[in-house]
Structure 1
Amino acid sequence: MWMKQLRPLRRRRIPISQSKKTEYRTAYLFLLPSLLGVGGFVFLPFLDVFRRSFLQASGHVFVGFGNYRTVLQNEAFQRAAGNTAKFILVCIPLLLTLSLSIAVFVQQSKTYQKLMKTGFLLPMALPVASVAVCFKMIFDRHGWLNLFLRQFGGKGADWLSSDSAFWVLIACYVWKNLGYDMVLWLAGLSAIPKEQYDAAKVQGAGRWALFRYITLPQLAETIFVTGLLSFINAFRVFREAYLLSGDYPDKSIYMLQHLFNNWFTSLDIQKMTAAAVMLVLLIGGILSGEEFWKNCREKKEEQRK
Structure 2
Amino acid sequence: MRMRVRTWKNPAWWFLLPSFTGVCIFYFIPYIDVFRRAFFSAAGGEFQGLDNFKTVLTNPAFQLAVKNTGLFMLVCIPLLLFLSLVIAVWIYRHSKIGNFLKTGFLLPMAIPVAAVVLLWRILFDDQGLLNGVLDRWGTGTCEWMDTRWAFVILVVSYIWKNLGYHIVLWLAGLSMIPDQIYEAAQMDGASDRVIFFRITLPNLLPMLFIIAVLALLNSFKVFREVYLVAGNYPNESIYMIQHLFNNWFRDLALDKMTAGAVLLSILLILLIFLLQKAWEDRA
When the two structures are superposed, what TM-score results if normalisation uses the length of structure 1?
0.86
1:83 matched to 2:68: yes
Residue ranges of structure 2 left out of the alignment (5+ in a row): none
1:212 matched to 2:212: no
After TM superposition, the structure 1 = structure 2 runs for residues 63-142 of structure 1, keeping only pairs within 5 Å, are: 63-142=48-127
Query: Which one of 269, 277, 284 corresponds to residue 254 of structure 2?
Result: 269
Structure 2 residue aligned with 1:242 = 227
Distance of 2:204 and 2:121 partners within structure 1: 36
1:153 matched to 2:153: no
Structure 2 residue aligned with 1:301 = none
Q: Percent identity?
A: 48
Query: Which one of 45, 51, 56 corresponds to residue 60 of structure 1?
Result: 45
Query: Which one of 238, 245, 249 corresponds to residue 253 of structure 1?
Result: 238
Distance of 2:44 and 2:131 partners within structure 1: 54
Structure 2 residue aligned with 1:10 = none
> What amino acid sits opposite 2:131 in the alignment?
N
Distance of 2:184 and 2:164 partners within structure 1: 31
1:266/1:22 CA distance change after superposition, 3 Å = closer
Contact 1:133–1:243 (CA under 8 A) maintained in structure 2: no
Residue ranges of structure 1 left out of the alignment (5+ in a row): 1-14, 299-305
RMSD: 2.1
Distance of 1:133 and 1:242 partners within structure 2: 13
Higher relative contact order (CA 8 A, sep 6+): 2
For the residue of structure 2 that corresponds to 1:236, the secondary structure is: coil
For the residue of structure 1 that corresponds to 2:104, the secondary structure is: helix
1:267/1:62 CA distance change after superposition, 3 Å = same
Distance of 1:191 and 1:183 partners within structure 2: 13
1:268/1:16 CA distance change after superposition, 3 Å = closer
The CA deviation at 1:55 is 1.6
Query: Which one of 260, 263, 274 corresponds to residue 289 of structure 1?
Result: 274
- Structure 1 residues 233-269: Cα deviation after superposition (integer angstroms, max 9, x where no partner): 1110012221231221111111111101101111111
Query: Which one of 171, 174, 183 corresponds to residue 186 of structure 1?
Result: 171
Structure 1 residue aligned with 2:181 = 196
Structure 1 residue aligned with 2:264 = 279
Contact 1:141–1:157 (CA under 8 A) maintained in structure 2: yes
> What amino acid sits opposite 2:176 in the alignment?
A
- Whose radius of gyration is greater, 1 or 2? 1
**Range moving further from structure 2, 282-291 or 211-220:** 282-291
Count of aligned pairs between the two proteins:
282
For the residue of structure 2 that corresponds to 1:34, the secondary structure is: helix
> What amino acid sits opposite 1:35 in the alignment?
F
The CA deviation at 1:151 is 2.1
Contact 1:173–1:240 (CA under 8 A) maintained in structure 2: no
1:45 matched to 2:37: no
Structure 2 residue aligned with 1:29 = 14
When the two structures are superposed, what TM-score results if normalisation uses the length of structure 2?
0.92
